Amino acid sequence: MKPKVAFFDFTGCEGCQLDALNLDAEDLIDLLNGIDIVNFREVMTERSDNYEIAFVEGSITTEGEIERIKKIREQAKTVVALGACAGIGGVNCLKNHVPMEEALRIVYGKDAKYYNTIPARPADAVIKVDHYVRGCPPSTSELVKVIKALLLNKKPDIPNYPVCVECKMAGNICVYEKGQTCLGPVTRAGCNAICITSGRYCWGCRGLVDEPNIQSQKDILNKYGLTAEQVIEKFKIYDTCSEVLK
Amino acid sequence: MNESSVLVIESDPIVRESLSGWLSSTGFEVTSAEDGARIVKVFAKSDFNIVIMDVRLHSETQLATLREMKAIRPRIKTIIITSHPQEEKVLEAKKIGVVDYIVKPVDMDDLQKIIQGTVESICRDNVNITEDNTSFETSGDDLVPGIKKSFAISRENLSLMVENLLKETEVIGVKAKQGKYVYDRIYGFYELSLDYDVTVSPPTGYMFPAKETLLKFKTGNGNHVEPVIEYTPRVIIGVHPYDIKAIELLDEVFMNHNPDPNYTARRENTVIIGVDCLHPSPRSFAPSMGTNWTETGFDLLLTDIGNSYIVKIGTEKGAELLAKHTKYRLPTGDEIVRQKKVRGEALNRYKIALDTPKDRIPKILEESYDDPYWENRSATCLSCGSCIMVCPTCYCFDVKDEMAMNLKEGERFRRWDGCMLVDFAKVASGENFRKDKASRFRHRMFRKGKYILERYGKVGCVGCGRCSSACLAGIASPLEAFNSLAENIRLKEAATSVIQPAKQARHIYTPEMAEILSVRQLTEKEKVFELKLKSGKKLGHYPGQFVTVSIMGTGEAPLSISSSPLRGKNFQLAVRNMGDLTSALHSVEAGATVGIRGPFGNGFPLETLEGRDLLLIAGGIGLFPLRSLIQYVMDRRYDYGKVSLLYGCRTPAERVFTEELDFWQNSKEIDFHETVDMPCEGWTGNVGVITNLIDKVDIDPKKTMVAVVGPPVMYKFVIEKLKKRDLPDAHVFLSLERKMKCGVGKCGHCQINGIYTCQEGPVFSLTQLRSLREAVL
């Protein structure tokens, strides 16, 4: 009996779902031999509310979304947060730094009165989440890895060490050595340090490791010339700052 | 470098001039200066071996100047001229590089003697460190390349050799990248940077890559498993001596004692062309670790002496390569002198050094295990693993299974792992045997300075300085740790270790297939499996040993053997459902195939137990491993005196092997007592902790041997109780749990201090454990 899998989107760009489809044709066929996709708005019109595994994408930003995701949790045996918005709050949380009325006014102008919003939050702020497919967007290989682990009933091999490990494995020259700064030392690996390997730095899109040494990371950013405010800005983009500000 | 270059710092112009004039007339190269503070700036750029300085010892400024000079040039020899030498001040000065002092007014004869002595000691130092057994023979077969011979080769001819090599093999070389140096594939000689300081990553990754497949497998019927050994023949050019020393360590680890076929294949197909490090990184302290020169470990070794290179032959392979690919000649006398000179100059370019002989490091560490240094210094540790990922002597790894999307085939791969990462020593039950930053930080320093040296006889830190460059928190340098701890130590005896060879296997990571003959539920969470090797052979284990069990696609885990080797060809594994592997194992049925490696480790010391009274103590599922010994003893009951068995668990529902418990309860051959912590309705037996049961047994401490297996928390209390009954440490044996992956003393996870639980353990005597602080008893 193939497990029935459903994909749901909340507040986000839906890029994670789009990226999920970037599989090789052969792998896609193998994947569909293992699971039954019963709900996936971006690729199919059929919909069913009978599923065991739910992938939720996007962060929670309205009261309505809270109710919706709770219903999904009741139905699904396993809930997987797909991407940075669902997993750690993501870019939507940038608005949490201004009052909600102000956020509505900036976005909707004079029509703001027709809308409602609450501070953005990850899925696990509302329901229990069993697994995470991390990244912005997550790599297809990580999504596949998590699905395979679910089918094999084992823990997905997602590291609990920082990006530095994979960055060094890739033989990169440290971003700090080039006089720039990077969130690699506290961000969970699993991306093969793709941003640094491509000449950029780590933005922290995969969230923090389980035991990040935030104080030390802040001190290092200071040492490399960032002011306290710039340090917070650095952590803001994917909302890893909520941990930092604690 | 001129051994007799002197810097004179003296404020009185008359004294300065006369001293300088006299020194010049006796053959010294003299530079003079009015005061030390100003000279410090130019000091770094010049080559002085001796400083003669007029010092008022009570002047903090002048002492600071001395300190600063010592920091820039650790090997500098300073002679001070002073008016009022107080003993404690002189001692203080000696700590900061002052070799001798002379009291004003200066007697020139005395000064000459002191300077002469200092020059001689500098020469001696350099000779010791640059000692080279090369014989530049001049007989008839001069030009026949042979091991240990040295030749000269022009830059053009070196280029010719590299270009010729490129025609037939992959060549890895050091090249510049974004202002740093890296090892990378090269396609022409012009890409090489042979005068580099240090590379970002070491060359060891070409023998031991960050990730590699060990096995490929198909699941389902037959469970087809195939070892994978992949390698590309290649030449690595430009390896510095400290990295060559690191490769020699990896050779020792991976090619001796349970040879690792994957590493071995790669290593045997790698040619190493070394190059002397003449412009070391400011973070390097290779001379302190004895790794700045090497006589072994390379096929060829180059020294850049200006327009040409001296090339030393290390192996037959190197000799062939030289003869085949290029032209070379005997070095001239001048070239031999130049090699000595450039090496001497290189030695003087090292900026930092150990304050203590390297042989003392293991003792320093041993004495410093509880030093607050570890806690204080590791507070800013990010646990980011950068230090261990760039370390040429780090080789620990993790092993994982990855299935293809069709879920029918997959591979088992290994990936670098290391003791600075949070989860490195964490087992499936959640226990983390090195859970705080300080213990991980300390363990790494112990590995680098003590454990590796004691286990393999080779230095565990080659002083390349990469870790201190990579560490953003600035705490990773072993040199700093060793120097900081050096003041607090006393000498103690070195520990020894034994390597336990695994049963000879074609490929140490490939499991043998075994059939599950039966499965029996013991409790809600525990089952016992009876297995037989498909080869029909006996497992050949001793009580207390363990095997690793593989379910291809899920992974591999160590499990202790629960049955006596005296009971036929089959063996039993009792298993609690706790992690991925055990959960998968719990879902298979009789008839299924699993992979087995082992038996591994040291079991209970059967010879020591024979003829003695035995006290066997099991807590919870500690009965699983202990049962192999209990059965064994019952099968050879006549070999033992009185046998007592104590068993305790949390609740009656968690009692395992209940029929056997009943049998022992009624047997006259064994004195059996059991207890539960929390009784349920209907329980009529003992209630309370297991230590209470010890009171029920008559013990003759001289005749009694004790075997204990249980959760870590139980050991402490049981040991306390046994000590109250006067049992000597040597009579108490315990089986310890640690995270394990490879089972063959390679992957590093199961270390308790410097020993490997899979090799020296899992059964240890209490005497052994007393010297292992991480055993936490």
Query: What spatial distance separates the first Cα and last Cα of chain A, rounded to whole Å?
Result: 46
HSE on the CB side for B89, CA within 13 Å?
15
Which among A2-6, B30-34, B485-489 has the top mean pLDDT?
A: A2-6
Amino acid identity, residue A149?
A
What is the distance between the alpha carbons of residues B106 and B22, in angstroms, rounded to a whole number? 12
Measured CA to CA, the distance from residue A142 to residue A134 in angstroms comes to: 8
Range with the poorest average pLDDT among B146-160, B388-402, B613-627: B146-160
User: What is the rounded distance in angstroms from the CA atom of residue A160 to the CA atom of residue B132?
Assistant: 48
Last residue of a domain, one of A129, A152, A175: A152
Asked if A143 and A168 sit in the same domain, the reply is no
Residues A170, A181: Cα–Cα separation, whole Å:
18
Looking at B4-13, B308-317, B522-531, B582-591, which range is the least confident one? B4-13
- State the pLDDT confidence band at B121, using cuts at 50, 70 and 90: low
Given this model, what pLDDT does residue A50 score? 87
Q: How far apart are CA B204 and CA B525, in angstroms?
A: 44
Within the 202-231 window of chain A, which residues sit less than 8 Å (CB to CB) from chain B?
209-213, 215-217, 219-220
Range with lowest mean pLDDT among B67-71, B250-254, B433-437, B676-680:
B67-71
Q: Tell whether A19 and A140 lie within a shared domain.
A: yes
For residue B477, the cross-strand partners are: none
User: Are residues A107 and A56 located together in one domain of the fold?
Assistant: yes
Q: Is the peptide bond before B105 cis (omega within 30 degrees of 0)?
A: yes
For chain B, give every domain's residue range.
5-130, 150-208+229-348, 358-396+422-488, 512-600, 606-735
Residue B279 confidence class, pLDDT cut points 50, 70, 90: very high
A64 residue type, one letter:
G
Q: Which of A30, A142, A201, A216 is most worth mutating to test chain B (most B CB atoms within 10 A of its CB)?
A: A216
In this complex, how many residue pairs, one in chain A and one in chain B, have their CB atoms less than 8 Å apart?
115
Q: Pick the closest to residue B212 from B198, B196, B228 (CA basis).
A: B228
Residue A128 and residue A171 in one domain:
no
Architecture of the domain defined by B5-130: 3-Layer(aba) Sandwich (3.40)
Give the separation between CA B247 and CA B206, rounded to whole angstroms.
10
Beta-bridge partner residues of B6: B30, B50
Write out residues 376-405 of B within 8 Å (CB-CB) of A. Answer: 379-386, 389-390, 400, 402-405
Tell me whether residue B150 is exposed, middle or buried, using C-beta atoms within 10 angstroms of its C-beta: 0 to 12, 13 to 18, 19 or more.
buried
Q: What integer is the mean pLDDT of B571-582?
A: 93
pLDDT given for residue B760 in this prediction: 87
On whether both A15 and A126 belong to a single domain, the answer is: yes
Mean pLDDT, rounded, for B555-577: 92
DSSP secondary structure letter of residue B332: P
- Over 70: is that where the pLDDT of B497 sits? no
Do A151 and B407 lie within an 8 Å CB cutoff?
Answer: yes
The 10s digit of each residue's pLDDT in B399-422 is 999 999 888 899 999 999 999 999
Q: What is the mean pLDDT of residues A3-15?
A: 93
Q: Summarize the confidence of residues A215-225 as an average pLDDT.
A: 89
CA distance B603 to B543: 5
pLDDT for residue B106? 73
Residue with the larger pLDDT of the pair B263 and B354: B263
Work out the average pLDDT over A108-131. Answer: 92
* A129 and A18 both lie in a single domain: yes
CATH number attached to the domain at B606-735? 3.40.50.80
Give the whole-angstrom CA distance, residue A117 versus residue B369.
56
- Identify which of B764, B668, B758 has the alpha carbon closest to the alpha carbon of residue B715: B764
Assigned domain for A157 exists? no
Residue A145 and residue A171 share a domain:
no
Among chain A residues, CA nearest to B180: A173
Q: Where are the alpha helices (DSSP H) in B203-276?
A: 241-255, 261-268
Percent of chain B with pLDDT over 70: 90
- The answer to whether A171 contacts B201, with C-beta atoms less than 8 Å apart, is yes
Mean pLDDT to the nearest integer, A31-48: 83
CB contacts under 8 A, A 90-149 vs B, are 144-145, 148
Per-residue pLDDT reduced to its tens digit, B682-693:
899 999 999 999
Does residue A73 sit in the same domain as residue A169?
no
B503-510: average pLDDT:
72
From the options 3.40.50.300, 2.60.40.2580, 1.10.1060.10, 2.40.30.10, give the CATH code of B512-600.
2.40.30.10
Is residue A98 domain-shared with residue A184, that is, in the same domain? Answer: no
Predicted pLDDT at B135: 43
Of all residues in chain A, the percent with pLDDT exceeding 70 is 97
Does residue A103 share a domain with residue A55?
A: yes
Q: What distance in Å separates the CA atoms of residue B50 and residue B77, rounded to the nearest whole number? A: 5
Residues of chain B in contact with residue A34, where contact means CB-CB under 8 angstroms, are 405-407
B211 touching chain A per CB within 8 A: yes
Instruction: Work out the average pLDDT over B511-536.
Output: 92
| Predicted confidence (pLDDT) at residue B57 exceeds the cutoff of 80 | no
- pLDDT-based confidence at residue B737 (cuts at 50, 70, 90): confident
Give the one of B384, B406, B584 whose C-beta lies nearest to A164's C-beta.
Answer: B384
Residues A194 and B145: their CA atoms lie apart, in Å, by 47
> How confident is the model over B753-769, as a mean pLDDT?
87
Contacts of B504-508 with C-beta under 8 Å, sequence gap 24+, read: B505/B597, B506/B227, B507/B227, B507/B229, B507/B261, B508/B258, B508/B259, B508/B260, B508/B261, B508/B597, B508/B742, B508/B744
Claim to verify: residue A142 and residue A185 sit in the same structural domain: no
- B470 and A220 within 8 Å at the Cβ level: the answer is no
Chosen from B469, B472, B582 to mutate, greatest number of chain A CBs within 10 A: B472
- pLDDT exceeds 80 at position A117: yes
For residue A84, the enclosing domain spans: 4-152
State how far the Cα of B501 lies from the Cα of B743, in Å rounded to an integer.
Answer: 10
Domain count, chain A: 2
Q: Which pLDDT belongs to residue B50?
A: 82
Mean pLDDT, chain B, rounded, equals 86
- Residue-wise pLDDT for B6-44, tens only, equals 888 887 777 788 778 877 776 677 888 777 666 666 666
Q: Is the pLDDT of residue B571 over 60?
A: yes
pLDDT of B83 strictly over 50: yes
Say yes or no: A145 and A172 in one domain.
Answer: no
